[in-house]
Amino acid sequence: MTNNLQSIIDLGREAAESHCYIKDNEAALAPYRKELTQRKTSLSKAIAGAFTQGTDLSPLMGGASVSQLCYPRHKTLIVLIKQVEYSPHAQLDEVDRLLANAEARVKELKQRKKHLRDSLLLKQQIDCTTIGYTLRFDNQPIG
């Protein structure tokens, strides 16, 4: 086996070890995830209620140097993201209609290209060449 392949195998072992460690410890983190989800929901509801009541939320906005939702001890900045809605307008509706048509056409063309490529490959009118690899980590018991 070449040094190059052995190096890849060694790096793979290290990555697998880290992956396994994270997967093994996910179960231990489950209660914290549930607690975090509940706390995020409570915070979101409180912010929505304050907004509805007309409370000035500007002290909660901005970067780490100005937001009251910056918690350096916990290495966390909670960022408020404005949700906006625009009033209707005929010109915007027309653009939305055009976009929907264009998106449907793009989807259709992608499907057509896939079928054409498969057909040309089957007829051996085009070649399929491997140009590289990506990784996927599967969680499967081995042995």
Q: Could you report the per-residue pLDDT of 84-107, keeping only the tens digit for each? A: 999 999 999 999 999 999 999 999
Model pLDDT, residue 86? 96
Angstrom distance (rounded) from CA 70 to CA 77: 4
Is 127 among the domain residues?
yes
Range of the domain at 71: 56-84
Is residue 41 located within the same domain as residue 71? no
Is residue 114 located within the same domain as residue 74? no
Cα separation values, 103 from 23, 106, 107, 114, Å: 38, 5, 6, 17
Q: Which residues does 57 contact at the CB level (< 8 Å), separation at least 6? A: 47, 50, 51, 80
Q: In 3D, which of 143, 141, 104, 103 has the Cα closest to residue 20?
A: 141
Is 106 among the domain residues?
yes
Is 140 among the domain residues?
no
Q: How many domains in the chain?
A: 3
Is 31 among the domain residues?
yes
Considering only residues 32 and 109, tell me which one the structure prediction assigns the higher pLDDT.
Answer: 109
Residue 70 and residue 77 in contact, taking contact as beta carbons nearer than 8 Å? yes
